[in-house]
Amino acid sequence: MDENEFLSMMVERNAWRKPLETGKPREAYTEYITRLLENVRIVAITGIRRAGKSFIARQVVNNLIKLGKYEPEDTLIIRLDDERLLTLEYDILLKLYQTYLDNVKTGKKKRS
């Protein structure tokens, strides 16, 4: 997978260009995860398929942006069940994250 494919995959799942669809509010989960993020940088949300994990992640991101704690470009959601990541290996995750850093995080500074 090349850098453009990584970017395409990340743009469709993150709030960098447009607000995220967040579904039914799940305040108990989002408040808990928001509190967790005061002490850690990464939170993994696990559970059965179609339980609302992605919507909870989007709700947390939207809340953090609304509270002014982060800019949209400071957040990154990666869905590990994406079919483009079926052969998921550590080096692919590193390349995905480096693509984010090079094109989104630093790109924010260039656009300002």
For residues 60 and 42, the answer to whether their CB atoms sit within 8 Å is: no
Q: Within 10 A of 96 (CB to CB), how many other CB atoms are there?
A: 21
- Whole-angstrom Cα distance, residue 105 to residue 109? 7
Contact present, 29 and 46 (Cβ < 8 Å):
no
d(CA 27, CA 20): 16
Looking at residue 87, what is its pLDDT? 79
> pTM for the full model?
0.76
Pick from 46, 76, 39: nearest CA to 60 = 76
Instruction: Please list, in sequence order, all residues whose beta carbon lies within 8 angstroms of the beta carbon of residue 94, skipping any fewer than 6 positions away.
Output: none
Domain residue spans of the chain: 3-111
Contacts of 60 (CB under 8 A, 6+ apart): 30, 33, 34, 37, 43
Tell me: the pLDDT tens digits for 26-47?
Answer: 999 999 999 999 999 889 999 9
> Which residue ranges of the chain lie beneath pLDDT 70?
107-112
